[in-house]
Structure 1
């Protein structure tokens, strides 16, 4: 079953799917469709929402997480102005398994695991035994080896991630990582903090929220 999911993952990653227009195009209020299964950084009532579609093996995603995200957290997330919804967009089987491990660990550890995966990306992704390296990261986050093995064998976990990836393709035409959607506005690729700041400030101003 996992082989079938991986085959579907490869097909989905190679196929651009036409989807619905964004809220920015239609003029309708944007609905990010946040559910209890999402992983959210920031306050639930933050006026601006950003979706982040990222791959754990993507160097540009690592650069965002390591260099830009801390600045966004300090200036916008910690101040209650922006919340970030992280949605994995796996590009390969190893990436998929990294996300499965992160999901199976204690939920409160998810973002800590994500940050470690990005900070040590070259180490675990290029290791002679990358699955073993992922198991070590999971172990440090409270996921013992037996539960790690069970997690990677759980098709429902893999299926949930792949379904989320396909939804991103359908709803936002995501075909590369990182891709961000800020209040319905799609922003593709690696961007500087100043680029995000300009968009956040504009979106906050549109909602009548002071940026200083």
Structure 2
């Protein structure tokens, strides 16, 4: 698929990272605004967002459920998503061994972008399906540190409508659903991201593919 991985992007806001085993929040607000003009958008508040939508992959009837709580502004979440998740997807999701569930957990590391980017990704999933959500999420993580309103691109990841993405970032219509995810995580003891649970049990050894695989294999 032909698209540019820097589609959200490009104003040069550095995203902070806290801790060694994961992110724990405490970032700042870079004060950027959106440039709908880059795509010739006349933004209006989205109507009737699907607040029940939660991005998932794999077999919903699988014996093993993997839940991952993430913050789109957390550097450790980017590392997990780009370097480790592809292995889990190939070895367990695609064969149907697990049901993989994304959960939003804005700490936030960066207060300006955590909820807007999560809202944009969720909106892509609502309109275009789970595969589009995860494609968009990967592109967002690749663009971490330059969230903003850079130049228009030929195609957004996941086949997303850029004006709809910008509207979801501007108005954050999925903020309540995102907060619901965070409340669920807090009830499970999540204090930092990424936080990974296999059949409800936290993966204690970090977020490497090896640690997650070990936890999944134990359940299988």
TM-score, L = length of structure 2? 0.65
On the 8 A contact 1:60/1:189 being kept in 2, the answer is no
The CA deviation at 1:148 is 3.4
On the 8 A contact 1:48/1:200 being kept in 2, the answer is yes
Q: CA RMSD in A?
A: 2.7
Instruction: Determine the C-alpha separation between the residues in 2 that align with 1:76 and 1:69.
Output: 10
Structure 1 gap ranges (5+): 1-12, 15-34, 205-212
On the 8 A contact 2:117/2:169 being kept in 1, the answer is no
The CA deviation at 1:174 is 0.9
User: What residue in structure 2 maps to residue 164 of structure 1?
Assistant: 181
On the 8 A contact 2:123/2:165 being kept in 1, the answer is yes
Aligned with residue 110 of structure 1, among 103, 127, 133:
133
On the 8 A contact 1:101/1:138 being kept in 2, the answer is no
Matched, 1:186 2:209: no
Please show how residues 52-201 of structure 1 align to structure 2 within 5 Å: 52-90=68-106, 91=108, 92-105=111-124, 106-108=127-129, 109-121=132-144, 125=145, 127=146, 130-133=147-150, 139-154=156-171, 156-169=173-186, 171-187=187-203, 190-201=206-217
On the 8 A contact 2:62/2:98 being kept in 1, the answer is yes
Instruction: Write out the 4+ residue segments of structure 1 that deviate beyond 6 Å after TM superposition.
Output: none
Instruction: Determine the C-alpha separation between the residues in 2 that align with 1:71 and 1:149.
Output: 31
Please show how residues 3-82 of structure 1 align to structure 2 within 5 Å: 37-82=53-98
Q: Which moved more, 1:66-75 or 1:183-192?
A: 183-192
On the 8 A contact 1:101/1:148 being kept in 2, the answer is yes
The CA deviation at 1:143 is 4.1
TM-score, L = length of structure 1? 0.67
On the 8 A contact 2:55/2:122 being kept in 1, the answer is no
